[in-house]
Amino acid sequence: SIGNLTSLLRLDLSDNYFVSIPSSIGNLKSLIVLSLSSNLITSLPDSIGSLTSLQYLNLALNQLTSLPDSIFGLYSLVYMSLHSNDLSPPFSSFCALTNLLYLDLSATNVTGEMPDSIAKLQTLQYLDLSNHSLSGDIPQSMGYLTSLVYLDLSNGPLPKGTIPPFVFQLTQLQSLRLSNVQLTGPISHSIGALTRLVRLDLSVNQLNGSVPAALSNIPSIEYLDLHDTLITGVEEGAIPRDIPFCNLQKTLIPCDPRPQVANCHTDCVPNSEKDERRDEIDIAVKNGGTRCAQNMKKGIHVLPETILPDLYEE
C-alpha cells in the first residue's frame, strides 16, 4: 500500500490513467513533492490535508470538479498548479496559503470576487488566472503583490475598463498578459514604471490613443502584442527599433508614417477604412479573441530558479 511509504519525500504519478487517489496517501507525512498531473482524477480524499510538509502540489490536467476543504490548510505549499480542471472553489480560499510563490488557476472555473485578502499572498511570484470566471472588480490591494514577476489575467471578465492602477505598482513584473479583458482608454504613461518587463500583451481590447513614449523606459522589453486594438499611433521612440517581436496588426495605425521597427508586424490602415476596422475589432473582442489565446504562454519561463528547487525537478 502506498500508505506504508511514510519516509517518502517525492511522489510523481503524473501522465497516467489514475481516476482516484487512496485515502492512505495521508500517511505520507514526510512528503514534500506530489505531482498527479495529467491523469483522470475526479476527486481527492480529505486525508490530503494531512500532508503538512507538502511544498509542491501539481494537480493540473485532471478532471477534478471539487477540492476538499483540507487542502487549504497545507500552509507549507509554495507551488500549486490546478490548471485545466473543472473546479469552482471561491478564490478567497487560496488566500490562506500565504507561503505560495507559484499559483496556476488557469482554465478552471474558480468563482467569486477577488477579495482584499489577496494582499496576504505577498510572496507570490507567479499568478496565472487566465480563462477565469471571477466576478466583481479586482481590488487595489493586489498592488501589494510586489514580488510578482508573472501575471496573466487574460481571456476573462476581469479586469475591465482602463488598465487598473495597481498594475503599475508591480515593478518586479517581467511578463504581463491582459489580453481580451475588455480594457478601454489609452495606455497610461505609468507603464514606464514596469522597467523589468520582458513581455507585454494587451491585445484584443478596445485600448485607444498612441503607444506612449514611456514604454522606452523599459529596456528589457522583447515581446509587445497590441494587435486587435484601437491604437491610432506610436509616440516617437516608444518601441525599440530592435525589439525581437512586436505585433501591431489590426490596429488603427495609419500607413504614413509607418512605425520604423524592424520586427514589428503591422497592416497599416488607410483613413477610409478606419471605421470599418473599428467594427471588426469590436467583434473580435466580443468573440473572445481566440487568435491569440495561447501565443504568449508558449515557452515563457521568466521565474527565478528559486521557485523550483532541484528537489522538485529531479
How far apart (Å, rounded) are the C-alpha atoms in residues 191 and 213? 10
How far apart (Å, rounded) are the C-alpha atoms in residues 153 and 33? 27
Q: CA triplet 221, 161, 90: central angle to 5 degrees?
A: 95
At 266 the pLDDT is: 77
Could you tell me the residue ranges of all domains in the chain? Answer: 166-295
**What are the tens digits of pLDDT across the range 69-106?**
999 999 999 999 999 999 988 999 999 999 999 999 99
**What are the tens digits of pLDDT across the range 55-77?**
999 999 999 999 999 999 999 99
Residues 6+ positions from 312 with CB-CB distance below 8 Å: 33, 55, 56, 79
| Model confidence at 256: pLDDT above 80 | no
Tell me which residue of 123, 131, 124 sits closest to 105, measured CA to CA.
131
**What are the tens digits of pLDDT across the range 230-247?**
999 999 999 998 899 999
Confidence of residue 136 (pLDDT cuts 50, 70, 90): confident
At 264 the pLDDT is: 79
How far apart (Å, rounded) are the C-alpha atoms in residues 96 and 73? 8
At 45 the pLDDT is: 98
How far apart (Å, rounded) are the C-alpha atoms in residues 206 and 52? 46
At 269 the pLDDT is: 54
At 300 the pLDDT is: 38
**What are the tens digits of pLDDT across the range 1-44?**
788 999 999 999 999 999 999 999 999 999 999 999 999 999 99
Tell me which residue of 126, 176, 141, 177 sits closest to 156, measured CA to CA.
177
At 158 the pLDDT is: 81
Confidence of residue 262 (pLDDT cuts 50, 70, 90): low
Integer distance in angstroms from the first to the last C-alpha of the chain?
24
SS (H, E, C) the chain: CHHHCCCCCEEECCCCCCCCCCHHHHHCCCCCEEECCCCCCCCCCHHHHHCCCCCEEECCCCCCCCCCHHHHHCCCCCEEECCCCCCCCEHHHHHHCCCCCEEECCCCCCECECCHHHHHCCCCCEEECCCCCCECCCCHHHHHCCCCCEEECCCCCCCCECCCHHHHHCCCCCEEECCCCCEEEECCHHHHHCCCCCEEECCCCEEEEEECHHHHHCCCCCEEECCCCEEEEECCCCCCCCCCEEECCCCCCCCCCCCCCCCEECCCCCHHHHHHHHHHHHHHHHCCCHHHCCCCCCCCCCCCHHHCCHHHHC
Residue range 133-141: average pLDDT? 90
Whose cell is 489577496? That residue is 118
Tell me which residue of 65, 48, 55, 57 sits closest to 32, measured CA to CA.
55
Instruction: Let me know: does 103 contact 86? Beta carbons within 8 Å.
Output: no
Instruction: Let me know: does 164 contact 141? Beta carbons within 8 Å.
Output: no
* CATH architecture of the domain with residue range 166-295: Alpha-Beta Horseshoe (3.80)
- Please report, as a single letter, which amino acid is at residue 286: K
Tell me which residue of 106, 11, 122 sits closest to 56, measured CA to CA.
11
Tell me which residue of 39, 33, 38, 43 sits closest to 12, measured CA to CA.
33
